[in-house]
C-alpha cells in the first residue's frame, strides 16, 4: 500500500500527523508533548516503530515541542525543516541544537522535490501565514507491482490561497486542508479585535468558505476525478463547528459533481487511518476504506 495517513492531533493545542509508505513513516509536525505523542501513536497501533523522519511546516509552537524533539534525538529520527526555520528553532530550543550536532537536521528548499525514501517524494508548497516561512506539502508515492501511484496534499495553516497553491494541490487522492473558522462565529466570539483581524487576515487562517473555495478550485483544475478524501484540519474550538465545516466542504464538492468523503480532524483523538493508492485490479468506484488498527498494528 503506497500510503497510510492518520491525523494524530489537529488544532491550536498541538498538531501532528503520521504518513507511512511501506515501512517508512513520517511525522508531519510534532506539536505534542512526548506523553501525548506516545499515546496517540499507540492508539493508532504503530508506536514509534515506523517513524524514520519528521517534517516541520513552520515554527509556531503548536507544530513543534521540545519533548518531541527529544524523542526524535533519542530515536535518531531525521528532522526536515526549511533553512529559515533554523535561527528561530536554535534560539528557542536547546534540543534542536543537539539534533543539529547529531547530524539529524536536514533542510528542504522552497521549491523542488526531495526524496524521503525510494519511491516516496515530497514537494514543499509555500503558504501565506504569520510565522515566517510556512509550507504545505505534496507527497507522492510511486506505483508498485500491485498498487497505483498516489498523491496526498497537506496544508494546515494559511491565511489565503492563490492559483499556484490550487494547482499544486490538484490531482491528488487525499487533500488535508485547514478549515479553521466560521467568519460569523469569529466576529461574534468576544475575542480581542486585534486577534480577530489577525485570524481573518491574509496571514492568518482559512475560513470554511475560503477552504471550500480552494477545494473547489483544485477539483476544477484536476485532470481526473482522483480525489477520494478531504481531511479538515485545524478547526477552531471557539469559532467553528464540525457540522459547519463539513457543510461547506460538501457544498464545494457538490458544485463540481463529485462524491468525496469528508473527515474532520480533532485535537482530542486521532482520525481513522486512510489508505491511499488503490490496487491495480480494483474496479470499484468510491472512497478508499478507512482502516481501524489494533494495538499490534
CATH number of the domain to which 236 belongs: 3.60.15.10
pLDDT of residue 290: 56
Distance CA 53, CA 265 (A): 22
Q: Do 15 and 55 touch, CB atoms closer than 8 A?
A: no
Whether residue 297 lies inside any domain: the answer is: no
> Does residue 171 have a pLDDT over 80?
yes
Distance CA 136, CA 149 (A): 20
Domain count of the fold of the chain = 1
Please state, rounded to an integer, the average pLDDT across all residues of the chain: 93
pLDDT of residue 148: 85
Range of the domain at 34: 3-290
pLDDT of residue 146: 76
Cell of 92: 528557542
User: What are 135-165's pLDDT values in tens digits?
Assistant: 999 999 998 877 789 999 999 999 999 999 9
User: What are 42-76's pLDDT values in tens digits?
Assistant: 999 999 999 999 999 999 999 999 999 999 999 99
Whether residue 280 lies inside any domain: the answer is: yes
Give the CA angle between residues 13, 15, 18 to the nearest 5°: 150
Whether residue 187 lies inside any domain: the answer is: yes
Query: What whole-number percentage of the chain has pLDDT above 70?
Result: 93
Q: Which residues of 184-223 are buried (b: 16+ CB within 10 A; e: fewer)?
A: ebbbebeeeeeebeebbeebbbbbbbbbbbbbbbbbeebe
Whether residue 295 lies inside any domain: the answer is: no
pLDDT band for position 283 (50/70/90)?
very low
pLDDT of residue 276: 85
Rounded alpha-carbon distances, angstroms, from residue 234 to 180, 211, 257: 5, 12, 26
* 105: helix, strand or coil: strand
Whether residue 109 lies inside any domain: the answer is: yes
* 193: helix, strand or coil: helix
Which DSSP helix (H) or strand (E) runs through 155?
strand 150-155
Whether residue 296 lies inside any domain: the answer is: no
Lowest-confidence region among 90-99, 123-132, 153-162, 287-296: 287-296
Whether residue 115 lies inside any domain: the answer is: yes
Whether residue 243 lies inside any domain: the answer is: yes
Q: Find the mean pLDDT for residues 2-6.
A: 91
Which among 13, 11, 22, 71 is positioned nearest to 47, based on CA atoms?
71
Kindly compute the dihedral angle of the four CA atoms of residues 227, 233, 236, 240, in this order, to the nearest 10 degrees: 20
pLDDT band for position 293 (50/70/90)?
very low
> Does residue 284 have a pLDDT over 80?
no
Amino acid at each position: 500500500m503506497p500510503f497510510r495517513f492518520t491525523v494524530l492531533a489537529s488544532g491550536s493545542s498541538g498538531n501532528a500527523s503520521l504518513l507511512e509508505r511501506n515501512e517508512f513513516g513520517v511525522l508531519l509536525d510534532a506539536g505534542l508533548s512526548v506523553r501525548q505523542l506516545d499515546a496517540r501513536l499507540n492508539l493508532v497501533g504503530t508506536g514509534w516503530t515506523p517513524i524514520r523522519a519528521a517534517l516541520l511546516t513552520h515554527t509556531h509552537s503548536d507544530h513543534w515541542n521540545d519533548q518531541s524533539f527529544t524523542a526524535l534525538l533519542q530515536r535518531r529520527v531525521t528532522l526536515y525543516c526549511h533553512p529559515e526555520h533554523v535561527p528561530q528553532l536554535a534560539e528557542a530550543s536547546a534540543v534542536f541544537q543537539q539534533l543539529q550536532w547529531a547530524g539529524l537536521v536536514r533542510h528542504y528548499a522552497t521549491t523542488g522535490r526531495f526524496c524521503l525514501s525510494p519511491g516516496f517524494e515530497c514537494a514543499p508548497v509555500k503558504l501565506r501565514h504569520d510565522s515566517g516561512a510556512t509550507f504545505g506539502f505534496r507527497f507522492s508515492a510511486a506505483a508498485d507491482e500491485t498498487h497505483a501511484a498516489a498523491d496526498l496534499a497537506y496544508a494546515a495553516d494559511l491565511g489565503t490561497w492563490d492559483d499556484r497553491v490550487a494547482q499544486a494541490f490538484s490531482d491528488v487522492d487525499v487533500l488535508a486542508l485547514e478549515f479553521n473558522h466560521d467568519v460569523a462565529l469569529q466576529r461574534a466570539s468576544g475575542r480581542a479585535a486585534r486577534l480577530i483581524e489577525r485570524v481573518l487576515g491574509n496571514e492568518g487562517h482559512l475560513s470554511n468558505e475560503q477552504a471550500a473555495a480552494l477545494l473547489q478550485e483544485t477539483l476544477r483544475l484536476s485532470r481526473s476525478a482522483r480525489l477520494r478524501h478531504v481531511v479538515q484540519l485545524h478547526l477552531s474550538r471557539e469559532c467553528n463547528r464540525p457540522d459547519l465545516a463539513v457543510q461547506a466542504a460538501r457544498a464545494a464538492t457538490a458544485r463540481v459533481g463529485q462524491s468525496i468523503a469528508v473527515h474532520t480532524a480533532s485535537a482530542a483523538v486521532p482520525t481513522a487511518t486512510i489508505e491511499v493508492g488503490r490496487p491495480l485490479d480494483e474496479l470499484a468506484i468510491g472512497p478508499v476504506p478507512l482502516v481501524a488498527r489494533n494495538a499490534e498494528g
